[in-house]
Structure 1
Amino acid sequence: MRHHAGWADVFHIDTESADSITGFYPDRETVGPPVSYSVRAVLARFPTLEAARAAREGAVSEWRKHDAAVRDAEAKLRDAEKAREDAWLNCLRDAAKAS
């Protein structure tokens, strides 16, 4: 299941053509009907399911290393948006007082 942009699903490739790949997600609780994606959607290929899972877990660990910086940036963004909104409202209030 895709939790966020940094989470990679393990996808088993059954068939492949020049422009698409068809397969299934072995980690999902219920394996549904095969799905197809464009070739561009596949980021990496691994020789075994275990290698794919290990790569995914390593990538998630790398993703998590940046969580604090992302939270800090989001807090700064919220502060900047609040300052912009306050400036907008103050400008409107000042214009109303001046008229």
Structure 2
Amino acid sequence: MTVQRPWALMRHHAGWADVFHIDSESTDSITGFYPDRETVGPPVTYSVRAILARFETMEAARAAREGAVLEWRKHDAAVRDAETTLRDAEKAREDAWLTCLKGAAA
């Protein structure tokens, strides 16, 4: 059986997806391999829910991944700002906790 749109993007980690070739599929699982990995081992099987998107060609999957990375990068500055705000809030919480403990010990 020929797999329709046999190329998929699978989540690798936040902000990145790996290209995956689907060799076979059932109603709830897919089996295939990652062509871009240094060592292509035996086929692996995943739930169909692991697929982020499917494509007809490897080139289309790679292009979509690169476009998504560019979109992800547009938010880098906002993420850095949010991380700074979070660190400042955590520092204020820690300072307040220490001040409370020191006040109770006085």
Same fold (TM over 0.5): yes
What is the alpha-carbon distance in structure 1 between the residues aligned to residue 44 and residue 92 of structure 2?
A: 46
Residue 42 (structure 1) shift: 0.6
User: Which string of whole-angstrom CA distances, capped at 9 and with x for unpartnered residues, describes residues 1-45 of structure 1?
Assistant: 93x411010010011001111110011111111111101111110
Q: Which runs of 5+ in 1 are unaligned?
A: none
- After the TM superposition, list the runs of 4 or more consecutive aligned residues in structure 1 that deviate by more than 2 angstroms: none
The structure carrying a bigger helix percent of its residues is: 1
Share of identical aligned residues, percent? 84
Gaps of 5+ in 2: 1-10
Q: Which residue of 2 aligns with 1:72?
A: 81
What residue number does 1:19 align with? 28
Residue deviations 1:37-81 (CA, integer Å, cap 9, x gap):
101111110110000000000000100110110011001001000
1:55 aligns with 2:98: no
Q: How does 1:27-38 map to 2 (within 5 A)?
A: 27-38=36-47
Identify the structure with bigger relative contact order (alpha carbons < 8 Å, sequence gap 6+).
Answer: 2
Distance 2:80 2:42 in 1: 38
Letter in 1 for 2:102: R
Report the equivalent of 1:46.
55
Q: What is the TM-score when the length of structure 2 is the normalising length?
A: 0.87
Q: How many residues align?
A: 96
